[in-house]
Amino acid sequence: MSRPGRPGRFRELLAKRLGWTFADNDARQLEDLLRDRAAQHGMHVEDYLTRLDARPWEAEVTELVERLSITETYFFRHGEQFAALREDALPERIAARSAQRTLRMLSVACSSGEEAYSLAIAARQARPDPDWLISVTGVDANPQVLRKAEKAWYSTWSLRETPDTVRRRWFRQADSGYWVVDEIRRLVRFQRTNVAAPDDDLWRPEQYDVVFCRNLLMYLTPDVVSALVERMTRALVPGGFLFLGHTDSLGSNPAGLELRHSHHSFYYRRHGGPTPLQRIAPAPAASSPPVPSYAVRPEPVVPEDVYPRALDLLRQERFTDALELLTASGPGPLEPRDRLLHGVLLAHTGRLDEAVALARKLSDDNGLNPDAHQLLGLCLEDGSAVAEAIGQYRLAAYLDPGFALPRMRLGQLARRQGDDRTAAGELERALDLLAQEDDRRITLFGGGFGRIALTVLCRSELDACAVRP
Ligand SMILES: C[S@@+](CC[C@H](N)C(=O)[O-])C[C@H]1O[C@@H](n2cnc3c(N)ncnc32)[C@H](O)[C@@H]1O
């Protein structure tokens, strides 16, 4: 058995070298990895940690990045942000740059490049004249994903949110997937960068018109987040735009930035620069977290309509709209199905404590409600209580043996914990059940994935298990 303190020291070193933060329930995974890496080098764990601490060890840090980073991404992810970019941010920047005829954009934590190419496509669509110089830089700490980005070949799965017109115009179908066309590839370059380390050139002040940094801040320590946000803000031209992930709010009044919202998404504009175009509504002087308001209010709602409409908004990942619709319709959602949907939406909008309270209430009211246990499991897992989440998933699966999604989560969690045998059994069962899974449950608990996507995900997790059931 290992002595206490080693995983803690490993965590501190990962924070020091990469800016990463981990939840307590990641301790087991980290401990396994630590033992494995020390053994690879023929070192005692203590010596390995001392070496990692003592001086730069790039090859080893690379190995750790490749083993630990989460690299999920796809083209035009969070389409509403790309709509805001296309219709608000880019027209404003193009007007401001009309003399220089240049647009510079940065994709921070670009993973395998889909986001960087999406930015280049959006810019080329907005400014087709070849005499405009468009450049996109994609940076990431993980060389494995950057190699994929350089290659610019993607499976159909990566283009799942890409409209057909865009697919036809900017991709070439071949080799059972898609190549990004050269016209776009030429605009994008990739660079290996660890955002926890300084890089004067990358962060030179006032150079980028648009910076995207999505789905990274949540993995970083608060110190690294604030240093990075400050660098990104400085590196934007006055009037330039910063887009963060849905869960990465900086509050309503971050230094040097003005909160904006349109297209049901929020983003930031660096102070200064030319007067913004009138079309962009200024954000309300609301306190954090930012809640988008809409130019067109939803029409008055007939109560029976509310549930299917809110479910549909959830399907479109318009969580705040759905929540607003559900809660605006009366004194409070009373039916268990409304309360369940309410809980799911609270969880999606980051109000985890409220979601947990609601899910607990639902399962207290009816302990035999498998959906309540599934919701509780999802919330607890997000809130780092994985052992309890597993108990809730088991209950959900027990109460409804036909319920695929708890099986799937149990399989994924078992894999994360290195228990491939349990994982394979659960994932196999989930695969069998997914074909029959209720559409409503897929919307509620599928995390934005449809049935086919979940099936592919399940199959690839199963393939990655070292054992077969
Ligand atoms: C979930 S992906 C985000 C992809 C894309 N931005 C998106 O939202 O679809 C997170 C990426 O952050 C990268 N990353 C993690 N820590 C990093 C660091 N310290 N410096 C640079 N990139 C890092 C990972 O390698 C991974 O590719």
pTM here?
0.63
Ligand 1 centroid distance, CA of 37 (Å): 22
**CB-CB contact of 53 with 14 (8 Å):** no
Distance from the first to the final alpha carbon of the chain: 29
CA nearest ligand 1 atom 9, residue:
73
pLDDT of residue 325 exceeding 90: no
Q: What is the pLDDT of residues 191-233, one digit of tens each?
A: 999 999 999 999 999 999 999 999 999 999 999 999 999 999 9
In terms of domains, do 182 and 145 share one? yes
Closest-CA residue, ligand 1 atom 27, reads 111
Residue 29: both structure tokens together? 């995974």
Mean pLDDT across the chain = 86
CA 148 to ligand 1 center in whole angstroms = 14
Ligand 1, atom 15, lies closest to the CA of 69
CB atoms within 10 A of CB 74: 19
Q: Does residue 18 form part of some domain?
A: yes
Q: What is the CATH number of the domain that holds 164?
A: 3.40.50.150
Residues 380 and 418 reside in one and the same domain: yes
User: 27 and 106 in one domain?
Assistant: no
| Side-chain half-sphere exposure of 416, counting CA atoms within 13 A | 17
Q: Looking at the structure, do residues 118 and 224 belong to the same domain, yes or no?
A: yes
Q: In ligand 1, which atom is closest to the CA atom of 18? A: 19
Mutational test site, ligand 1, from 111, 161, 223, max ligand atoms within 8 Å of CB: 111
- List the one residue out of 368, 392, 394, 397 whose CA is nearest residue 382: 392
Q: Which of 20, 65, 216, 223 to mutate to test the pocket of ligand 1 (most atoms within 8 A of CB)?
A: 216
Domain carrying residue 25 = 6-68
Distance 427 CA to ligand 1 centre (A): 27
Ligand 1, atom nearest to 193 Cα: 21
Minimum CA distance residue for ligand 1 atom 7: 73
Statement: residue 299 has pLDDT above 80? no
Tell me, yes or no, whether 1 lies in a domain: no
Co-location of 186 and 233 in the same domain = yes
Do both 99 and 241 map to the same domain? yes
Convert the pLDDT of each residue in 341-356 to its tens digit. 999 998 887 788 888 8
84-138 pLDDT, tens digit per residue, is 999 999 999 999 998 889 999 999 999 999 999 999 999 999 987 778 899 999 9
**One domain for residues 214 and 149:** yes
| C-alpha span between 176 and 173 (Å, rounded) | 7
- Give, as one character, the DSSP assignment of residue 24: G
Number of domains in the chain: 3
Question: What pLDDT is attached to residue 29?
Answer: 86
In the predicted structure, residue 245 carries a pLDDT above the cut 80: yes
Are 231 and 165 found together in one domain? yes
41-55, 318-332, 388-402 — which is least confidently predicted?
318-332
Give pLDDT, residue 314: 87
310 token code pair:
């809110």
Residue 114 lies in a domain: yes
Q: Which atom of ligand 1 is least distant from the CA of 73?
A: 9
User: Cβ(224)–Cβ(195) under 8 Å?
Assistant: yes
What tokens does 441 get? 């449950």
Q: How much distance in Å is there from the Cα of 144 to the middle of ligand 1?
A: 12
* C-alpha atoms less than 13 angstroms from C-alpha of 319 in its C-beta half-sphere: 20
Q: Rank 59-68, 306-315, 374-383 by mean pLDDT and report only the highest.
A: 59-68
How much is the average pLDDT of 137-153? 97
Q: Is the pLDDT of residue 290 over 70?
A: no
Choosing from 68, 88, 109, the residue where a domain stops is 68
Atom index in ligand 1 nearest the CA of residue 195 equals: 20
Look at ligand 1, atom 3, and give the residue with the nearest C-alpha: 215
Q: What is the dihedral of CA 162, 163, 167, 170, to 10 degrees?
A: -90
CATH number of the domain at 432, please: 1.25.40.10
- What does the DSSP assignment read for 276-321? PPTTSPBPPSPPSSP----SSPPPP--HHHHHHHHHHHHHTT-HHH
**85 with 49, same domain?**
no
pLDDT band at 284 (very low <50, low <70, confident <90, very high): very low
Radius of gyration of the chain (CA): 23
Q: Is residue 283 part of a domain?
A: no
In this structure, the answer to whether residues 92 and 61 fall within a common structural domain is: no
With respect to residue 259, please indicate whether it lies within any of the assigned structural domains.
yes
Q: Which long-range contacts (CB under 8 A, 24 or more apart) does 274-280 make?
A: 274/92, 274/95, 274/96, 274/239, 276/92, 276/239, 277/88, 277/91, 277/92, 277/95, 279/87, 279/88, 279/91, 280/88, 280/92
Would you say residue 390 lies in a domain? yes
Q: Which atom of ligand 1 is nearest to the CA of 196?
A: 19
The pLDDT confidence band at residue 301, using thresholds 50, 70 and 90, is very low
d(CA 145, CA 64): 14
Instruction: Give the mutation target among 140, 145, 203 for probing the ligand 1 site: most ligand atoms within 8 A of CB.
Output: 140
Distance 108 CA to ligand 1 centre (A): 7
- Cα–ligand 1 centroid distance for 139 (angstroms): 8
Give the Å distance between the CA of 243 and the centre of ligand 1: 14
Q: Provide residues with CB under 6 Å of ligand 1.
A: 18-19, 69-73, 77, 109-111, 115, 140-142, 145, 193-196, 214-216, 219
Tell me if the bond preceding 290 is cis, omega within 30° of 0: no
Buried-exposed string 166-182: b where 16+ CB fall within 10 A, e elsewhere:
beeebbeeeeeebbbbe
DSSP assignments along 214-251, one per residue: -S-GGGB-HHHHHHHHHHHHHHEEEEEEEEE-TT----
291 in a domain, yes or no? no
* Residue pLDDT, tens place only, 33-45: 999 999 999 999 9
DSSP string for 37-77 = HHHHTT--HHHHHHHHHHS--HHHHHHHHHHH------TT-
User: What is the pLDDT at residue 329?
Assistant: 62
**pLDDT tens string 51-87:** 999 998 999 999 999 999 989 999 999 999 999 999 9
The answer to whether residues 56 and 171 belong to one domain is: no
Whether 282 is in a domain gets the answer no
Same domain assignment for residues 43 and 135:
no
Q: Which of 362, 353, 360 is nearest to 333 (CA)?
A: 362
